[in-house]
Every structure is written in structure tokens, then in C-alpha cells.
Structure 1
Amino acid sequence: MATISKRGAYQWQAKIRKQGYPVQSKTFDSKREAEAWASVIESEMTRSVFIDRSLSERETLEDVIDRYIKDIAPKHKGGRAEIARLKKFLHGEQDLTCRIMATLTIEDFESYRDKRLNENKAPGTVKRELGLLHSVIESSLRRLGLLENPVTKVKRPTVNDNRIMRFYGDDEARLMTALDSCRNPWIKPAVTLALETAMRRSELLNLQWQHIDLETRVAHLPDTKNGHSRDVPLSSIAIQTLKNLPQQESGQVLRTTAEGIKNAFERARKRADLEHFNFHDLRHEAISRLFEANWNVMEVAAVSGHKDPQSLKRYTNLKAADLAKKMG
């Protein structure tokens, strides 16, 4: 049976004690609200469907994000990127992060989505942000006693998959010229190796000298995004690029950071009037070139590390003009 008692001059507290359940209590502005809440909770306990929501009524979204940053993100391969995005979110969305978890609704995250799109953020960026927030809340859903993740039913922005991801005309030459003006000495070798090997940015940054055999022309990647190691063949251009770098028996080949690569590339693409072209598009370009050079699917997959043809297809953008030449 619930106990309803007055707290101070204007508030009422409902407290429920039932065997087999933790004590539940909540304060309201009126006795009627306290009685209504107690009636619902007692009914749930009687029907054995009660879930303790008290934690969700104390913790904020910021608390949940902090827990994710501390305990979960470091275990992920992309953990550093997740942590960076979440810290940026904490800094910029304080109106949302200060909210109690039990009060967050689908509409709150729809408003966040619309605000980001109105700030001219790319649909793909907003889609990834919502996906990360969904994962963050999902990680604490059971612990908080929440029945539903409010981000689950938020409609994601439509991503335009028809964006140009290839070099055309003198695009590559303009980019390479722009890279010559970069203060970061590692960016041009990174771009060249990306085009010659189809490696991801993270794989390039993790490349170690002890895993490169210049004689057999192979770079070994012991730990990749999909969790499998692979050996990447090195072209003559890749070999020459590596030989021009300061060499040592061990250590990082490209002694820079993901942020360093990102910033330098963005400045260079702006100078080259290629602001539509991202660093990851170099991987699309490299894979497409392998197909245009008559490599078969299995050979390309061995280089790129893709495990299924559908994923590989998404990274392949063949030029119609080159295909027309094969038709005679």
C-alpha cells in the first residue's frame, strides 16, 4: 500500500513498499498526482511488469555519455573517433545533455536532427551522429530501466549516394599541386599511398616499418577495421614513396595523426577547388582503378579487405568512358 505524505508547504511524496521490490518514492506538486503515480506503480508490481525507473529519473544524458566514453568507447576500434564526437556533442548541445533520461522523447532528437540539417551539416554526418547517440543510449537502456530508446524511431536523413567520388579531368593534378604547399610533410605521401594501396586512413596511420617488405613489395596490416589482418601489394609508385620517407627499423611510417591528416587534406582540397572530395574518396578512386585495370573481384577484395561483393560494389565507381573503350 502506498503512503502519501505532505513535504513542506506545497509538495506531496508518494512512497511504495512491496515485498520483492525496491522501495519507490517520488515527489509531486499535488496529492492527486502522487496518488495517480502510486496507483500505476502498484498495478505494475501486482502484475509483475514493474521496472525500476528511478535511475532514469536521476541520470542525465550527459551522465550516460560520460559512462559510455569511460567504459565502452575505449573497447571499440573506432573508439577515439567516437569519444571525439561525443565530447563535441557534450560541449555544443548542453540544452539536451542536461536533460533527465526519463524525460527524453523522440521529438527531442527529431529537433536535434532538424537543427543540425539547418546548420548545413551533411545528411551523412547527421545520420552518423544519430547512430552514435542511439548506441550510447542503448548501452544503458536496461540499466536505467527504460523500455524504449527514443532515437530508435527517429527518421534518419536521406544520404545522397550519387555523390561524385572520382577524379575527373585535372582534379588529381590540382590536388597534388595543392598538397605541395602543405606544412604537414606527411599528407602528400599519405594521399599517394592511399591511391596506390586503397588503404583506409586508419590503416595508413597504423602502418609500421617492421611490417613493410620492400623486396617482396608487401605491407602487412595486422589489425584492420574488420578485425582481420591482410597483406597489401605495393606498386612501384608506393615503393618509391616509401623509400623517400625517413626510414627506421620500427615505428610509425607516417608520423602524424588523424587530425593532422584531416586538417591538411581539407586545406589542400579547398586550394584545389575540390571541396566535394573527401580523404576517404581516395579509397573509392583506388578500388575503381583496380577494376578498370581488369583486376577481378577476388583480387580487388584481397587488396581492399572487403569480405563480401556488395560492400565492395559500394566502393566502386567505374567511368562510362573507360567502359566504352572496351566495347569496341
Structure 2
Amino acid sequence: MASFQKLPSGNWRVLIRAKGHKAISATFSTEKLAKAFAKEKERQLEEVKATGRTAAPKGSTVAHYIDDYLDYIQRGRTLQRSALFIYRALKKRFGKIGIERLSKSHLDSFIDDRKKEGVQGQTIAGDLSLLSSVLRYCYDSKHLDVDPDLADKARKSLKTSHKMRIKSREVECVPTQSEVDAIIAVFATMKRQQIDMPKVIRFSLYTSMRQAEICRIRIEDLDMENKTVIIRDRKHPGEKEGNDETVPLLPSAWEIIEGVVEGRTSGCIFPYNPKSVSTAFTRAKKPAGVARPVRFHDLRHKAITDFFGLGLSVPQVALMSGHRDWQTLKRYTHIKATDVHAAYNALDTKQQGAKNVDGQLALILQQLSELKSSQA
């Protein structure tokens, strides 16, 4: 079924012919890779024969089936704009490739290019996850002769190295208080700055909210009595919509809210574009003398670390930050050895104070008992 040919360049070409299917041709750097490819393709062809799968119509491309999948999926629900944006980018990247010709080499090249652009592994994995949904749709619903796990395999191969890289970057780039103060001071000199960045920065530090959440919270969702606010459609790994969450606003954050609202009864509390907030923060770093690659999002890391420093528990911090599990939350904490000593000393002082109170109470009770005995 498969034939192999060594080319003048030293590469190996494999040609696979099967009845009822278009001939498959591919070129590899070694004979071993060519034979491995042929073995896998022959397995897939046998599966097609057994399951009744069909070849894609002539001229069918990845773009065609991305559109087909979006038409199918949006009959039951509305996709977020971010997902639609990614699908448009995937069409631009892979759109002209025949759906059955999409291969591991295409995805490897895609991953390499995205890394060169400075895109983080988690974002690349998200792109591949959406592409995987399209391939799974082609396999399960359209019964096409495609590898439904192609993008998923590429995504999983990326996962481990990505986590290690992200962890080291976050530890390095948590902003210090002096860096934050320097950046805030820069905005005090910008007379034309339309965004009140000092208040936005401080509010982020007092709440650990994401910049998109800060720019989305509304006056109507404030609870003046309980000093809380509802974050609508909060980011969630399994729920894209309807994930509303009521979070407390600590005194420092509530003080900022009162100053910003100033009698307004509706609308966004911070009516700014999240991207503009991020851009303004980044531009202020140079005049502030901050050389490290600190981002606005890194304020969230500092806020969560500060919450633990105040003595808040994991569930309490998780409510503030919106995290669903400790494994995710701990990536945002940056507790040092000195923090542990300080927390222990504070706890020890508190316990000693409690012991003193208990001793004083016991003494008072004893004196009362003696007084009653003398009166009797």
C-alpha cells in the first residue's frame, strides 16, 4: 500500500494508495519518519474502511470547515468575541490548507511562529484547543478521514514546558511597592492622561481584579450596605457566561469607589477600555525607571500575595480573586520565608494575648467567688 523513494536531496518521499481514497504523498528527512507516517496513515485508512468514514470533497479547506463548525455550534449558543477572533486568526493561518492535508508539521510551525511573536504557551494552547474542536467536529459529525486528536496532541506536548516557563516569569516580575509608587508618580505629571490610572492601579491592588473586570463593574451592581459588587460573567475555566460573583470590597477599595462614583447612579464605575489601561501602564514604566517586564496584570499577583500577608484564608482570597482551585491560585502567590516568620510572630503574639485575657478572667472570677463567700 505504501511505497518509499529516496530523493536526490536525501529526503524520503512516501506515497500511499488505497482503493476509494485519494493518494497520500508526503516528504520526510529520514526513512524512519516516512515509515512511521505511512504506518499511522494505513491504520487510519483501515479505521475509515471499518467505520465508513469518507474523504472530504475536493477543494475542502480548513477555512471551509471552521465556518461550517461555527454555523453548527452557534445554533445552540453564542460564542464570545474572543473565540470568534481566534477562529478568524486560525482561518488566516490554516485556511487554504486542505482539511485532510493538515499535519503535525503545520502545527509545529504554528507553535514556533507564535513563540517567536512572544505569545505565551497558555494562549497558544487555547488556540490549539479551538482548532481541536473543529477537527473533532469533522471526525464525529462529518465522518471525515481526519485525525481528530491532531491539535490536541500538539497542545498537550506544549503543556508541561509552558507551566515551568510561566512559573519562573511570574516569580521574577511581581511588582515591588517602590515600582508601583514610581509608576503612579509618573501619571501625576501627565496632564492629558484621560484615564485616572493612579486610582485604577490602587483599586487593582486592593481587589486583585483583572483589568477587564475593573473596567466592566457597574454602579448598579454595588451593594452600599454590605460594601460588595457583582462581577458579571467572571472568567471561569468551564463556564463562559452567566458566572456572576459577588465579591467584598475592602475599606481601601470602597473608599476609591465612593470617590469615583460621586453621585452617579448608573454606568461603569471605571469607564475605560481595558487595553488602554494596559497600554498606559506599560508606557509609564520607562519614565518611572522600571526596567523589568512588569505588566498591569502582575498587580494581581501582588494583591493576592498581600491578601495572604494580611492573614486571609485560602477560601477568602479565592473569593476575592475568582480562582476555583488552589493549584491555580498558588501560581499567583509569592510568599517569602520572612513572611512566614512575620505571620508566626503575629499569631504567637495573638495567642499570648489570649492567654493573658484568660488569666485575667480567671482572676476576676476567683475574686468574685471570694467576695460572695465573705458576704455570706
TM > 0.5? yes
Within 5 Å, which residues of 2 pair with 1:35-184?
A: 48-55=50-57, 57-67=58-68, 72=73, 75=77, 79-91=80-92, 93=93, 96-144=94-142, 145=144, 146-154=146-154, 155-156=157-158, 158-159=161-162, 160=165, 161-163=167-169, 164-168=172-176, 170-180=178-188, 181=190, 183-184=193-194
SS where residue 279 of structure 2 aligns? helix
Quote how far apart the aligned CAs of 1:114 are: 1.8
Q: Return the alpha-carbon distance in structure 1 between the equivalents of residues 336 and 131 of structure 2.
A: 37
Q: Return the alpha-carbon distance in structure 1 between the equivalents of residues 90 and 185 of structure 2.
A: 36
Please identify which structure carries the higher helix content.
2
Q: Match for residue 256 of structure 2?
A: 241
Is the Cα–Cα contact under 8 Å of residues 48 and 54 in structure 2 kept in the other structure? no
Q: Match for residue 314 of structure 1?
A: 331
- Residue identity matched to 2:233: D
By relative contact order (CA 8 Å, sep 6+), the higher-ranking structure is: 1
Q: Which residue of 237, 244, 247 maps to 1:229?
A: 244
Distance 1:206 1:54, change over 3 A: same
Q: Return the alpha-carbon distance in structure 1 between the equivalents of residues 222 and 323 of structure 2.
A: 21
Q: Is the aligned partner of 1:292 residue 2:309?
A: yes
Q: Which residue of 255, 268, 275 maps to 1:252?
A: 268
Quote how far apart the aligned CAs of 1:209 are: 0.5
Q: Return the alpha-carbon distance in structure 1 between the equivalents of residues 168 and 315 of structure 2.
A: 25
User: Where does the alignment leave 5 or more consecutive residues of structure 2 unmatched?
Assistant: 1-18, 25-41, 346-376
User: Where does the alignment leave 5 or more consecutive residues of structure 1 unmatched?
Assistant: 1-15, 17-23, 29-39
- Residue identity matched to 1:114: D
Is the Cα–Cα contact under 8 Å of residues 201 and 258 in structure 1 kept in the other structure? yes
Q: Return the alpha-carbon distance in structure 1 between the equivalents of residues 99 and 254 of structure 2.
A: 54
Quote how far apart the aligned CAs of 1:184 are: 4.0
Q: Return the alpha-carbon distance in structure 2 between the equivalents of residues 281 and 244 of structure 1.
A: 25
Provide the TM-score with structure 2 as the length reference: 0.65
Bigger mean CA offset, 126-135 vs 150-159: 126-135
Distance 1:58 1:186, change over 3 A: farther
Quote how far apart the aligned CAs of 1:185 are: 1.2
Q: Return the alpha-carbon distance in structure 2 between the equivalents of residues 222 and 46 of structure 1.
A: 46
- Residue identity matched to 2:268: Q
Identity of aligned residues (%): 23
Quote how far apart the aligned CAs of 1:136 are: 4.1
- Residue identity matched to 1:171: E
Q: Return the alpha-carbon distance in structure 2 between the equivalents of residues 192 and 169 of structure 1.
A: 11
Quote how far apart the aligned CAs of 1:295 are: 0.9
- Residue identity matched to 2:113: K
Q: Which residue of 258, 275, 278 maps to 1:262?
A: 278
Quote how far apart the aligned CAs of 1:321 are: 3.0
Distance 1:141 1:316, change over 3 A: farther
Quote how far apart the aligned CAs of 1:147 are: 3.9
Spell out, residue by residue over 1:228-261, the C-alpha distance to the aligned partner (whole angstroms, 9 max, x if none): 4332221232122222325522222221233333
Q: Return the alpha-carbon distance in structure 2 between the equivalents of residues 156 and 46 of structure 1.
A: 29
Q: Return the alpha-carbon distance in structure 1 between the equivalents of residues 131 and 227 of structure 2.
A: 42
SS where residue 246 of structure 2 aligns? strand
Quote how far apart the aligned CAs of 1:69 are: 5.5
Is the Cα–Cα contact under 8 Å of residues 176 and 188 in structure 1 kept in the other structure? yes
Quote how far apart the aligned CAs of 1:113 are: 1.3
Q: Match for residue 227 of structure 2?
A: 217
Is the Cα–Cα contact under 8 Å of residues 141 and 149 in structure 1 kept in the other structure? no
Q: Return the alpha-carbon distance in structure 1 between the equivalents of residues 339 and 224 of structure 2.
A: 32
Is the Cα–Cα contact under 8 Å of residues 61 and 96 in structure 2 kept in the other structure? yes
Q: Match for residue 210 of structure 2?
A: 200
Q: Return the alpha-carbon distance in structure 2 between the equivalents of residues 88 and 243 of structure 1.
A: 42
Spell out, residue by residue over 1:47-91, the C-alpha distance to the aligned partner (whole angstroms, 9 max, x if none): 642202224x543222333445666489477x2222333434545
Q: Return the alpha-carbon distance in structure 1 between the equivalents of residues 22 and 180 of structure 2.
A: 64
Is the Cα–Cα contact under 8 Å of residues 195 and 272 in structure 2 kept in the other structure? no
Distance 1:257 1:173, change over 3 A: same
Provide the TM-score with structure 1 as the length reference: 0.73
Q: Return the alpha-carbon distance in structure 2 between the equivalents of residues 110 and 67 of structure 1.
A: 25
Is the Cα–Cα contact under 8 Å of residues 194 and 201 in structure 1 kept in the other structure? yes
Q: Return the alpha-carbon distance in structure 2 between the equivalents of residues 184 and 321 of structure 1.
A: 40
Q: Return the alpha-carbon distance in structure 1 between the equivalents of residues 205 and 256 of structure 2.
A: 12
RMSD between superposed Cα atoms in Å: 3.4
Spell out, residue by residue over 1:267-303, the C-alpha distance to the aligned partner (whole angstroms, 9 max, x if none): 2345443552233322222111111111112222232
